[in-house]
Amino acid sequence: MTAVYSFSRAECWLARYHGWLLVALWASVQALCWHYYRGPRLFGDGAGYLSYAKQLVSTHVFAGGYYLRYIGYATYLATLLALGFNLTGIALVQVGIAGLATRAFYRTAWRLSGQHWPTAALATAALLCWAEVQAFNAFILTESLFTSLLILSAWAVARARGAGGVALAGLLLLLTVFVRPNGFIALGAGALAGLVWLQRVGWPAHSRWLALLLLLAPLAWHQLNWLADTLGLMRHYTIGTVICNYAPACLTPATALRMPAPGHSVLAQLLWFITHNFWYFCQLAALRLAYFMGFPKPWHSALHIAWLAATLPALYWLAVRGVARRTAALPVRTYLAGCLLLQIAIVLVTFEDWDVRFSGPMIPYWLLLAALGAQPGLQRLARRWAQPVNEPAIPLRN
């Protein structure tokens, strides 16, 4: 017999109006970030993106060089500039897209949790209160659009049904690829999710892996070589870069490094370097992983680092539990976990950023998985607070 529970008026009111509370929280956070960071904020690489976009508007030619790696964001800027938008308008469009992405985040959490609104609401509130992520919207940088597209891609993957849904997911994944150099993690994770789906519909294993190798391996090899070359990756290994543009964090090798011969592809040189300097590479990778996963930076306050140390382990532990939750379809969980693992792998072989521009955009995925991991506990709390009754009442949603 299914137990029936009675809920207080406050709980019923929250169930009905929590969406509007989240809208109010979103608007408040955006206004605070805009005011605090004096949006629109042109900072760091933003001037370069803007200059490239203006050149694109005037010449209609995608010039080569460093900023070609951010062609999706440059096209976004160029399109709005051509339509007459100024910097304020461009940043406000980012805020609007982020608002749509927040709605998509809630719907994704709601869908993955089996339509359990408290799980979706708490996950969304946590995302809105993560100020470092919300601050992206006030800057003319790629991170705002990249984060929004990652959220929209997860939403599309979670609801992909039939040819139309798969096509929409594929389009959003491709758009994500072109916004930032590491955007290919979304497409790679989408391919892994596709393999899992093919397994569920009965494709033999050798056919799935052959399809992946034929379709993605050549593209991935070419793309990774190009990106590694533009980063000057081997130079960063020579100087022991841990955090980009922060020399005090560099790792000095204990012995002379063995360097690969020039003339080969950058990835081939990287594989040779790792093989012949394995202990040094492991030390670099460990330091990069600590900065990426822990979010600490040498210039953060002790209180900030203490807060991260208190909250991040719980987030990661719940996310690991969330991967095993069967309320969400296995291809979707594969996509989320695959995207996180690919981003971690990129940081291990490249470097960490001096800010949170590498780790911040991945927070929504950590939160989605952590919400799934926290859901059983939330349901137990709900049952403890609710009072069983004999007469008909509002049933507890599972």
- Tell me, what's the pLDDT at 294? 87
- Tell me, what's the pLDDT at 398? 42
User: Is 397 domain-assigned?
Assistant: no
Q: Please, are residues 181 and 146 in contact by the beta-carbon 8 Å criterion?
A: no
Structurally, the chain folds into a number of domains equal to 1
Instruction: Tell me the H-state helices in 180-232.
Output: 184-200, 205-231
- Tell me, what's the pLDDT at 301? 81
Which domain range does residue 119 map to? 5-388
pLDDT beyond 80 at 231: no
- Across 177-200, average pLDDT: 88
Q: Please, are residues 99 and 137 in contact by the beta-carbon 8 Å criterion?
A: no
- Across 186-215, average pLDDT: 74
User: Is 315 domain-assigned?
Assistant: yes
Nearest to 329 by CA among 151, 115, 159: 159
Q: Name the phi and psi angles at 381, rounded to 5.
A: -60, -40
- Tell me, what's the pLDDT at 262? 82
User: Is 141 domain-assigned?
Assistant: yes
User: Is 359 domain-assigned?
Assistant: yes
User: Is 394 domain-assigned?
Assistant: no
pLDDT one-digit tens code per residue, 240-296:
999 988 888 999 998 899 999 887 888 888 899 999 999 999 999 999 999 999 887
- What are the angstrom distances between the C-alpha of 374 and each of 56, 109, 118, 318, 380? 47, 12, 11, 6, 10
386: confidence class by pLDDT, cuts 50, 70, 90: low
- Tell me, what's the pLDDT at 368? 98
- Across 340-368, average pLDDT: 93
Q: Please, are residues 337 and 321 in contact by the beta-carbon 8 Å criterion?
A: no
pLDDT beyond 50 at 171: yes
User: Is 215 domain-assigned?
Assistant: yes
398 CB-near residues (< 8 Å, 6+ apart):
114, 116, 379
User: Is 393 domain-assigned?
Assistant: no
User: Is 204 domain-assigned?
Assistant: yes
Q: Please, are residues 175 and 168 in contact by the beta-carbon 8 Å criterion?
A: no
- Across 151-156, average pLDDT: 98
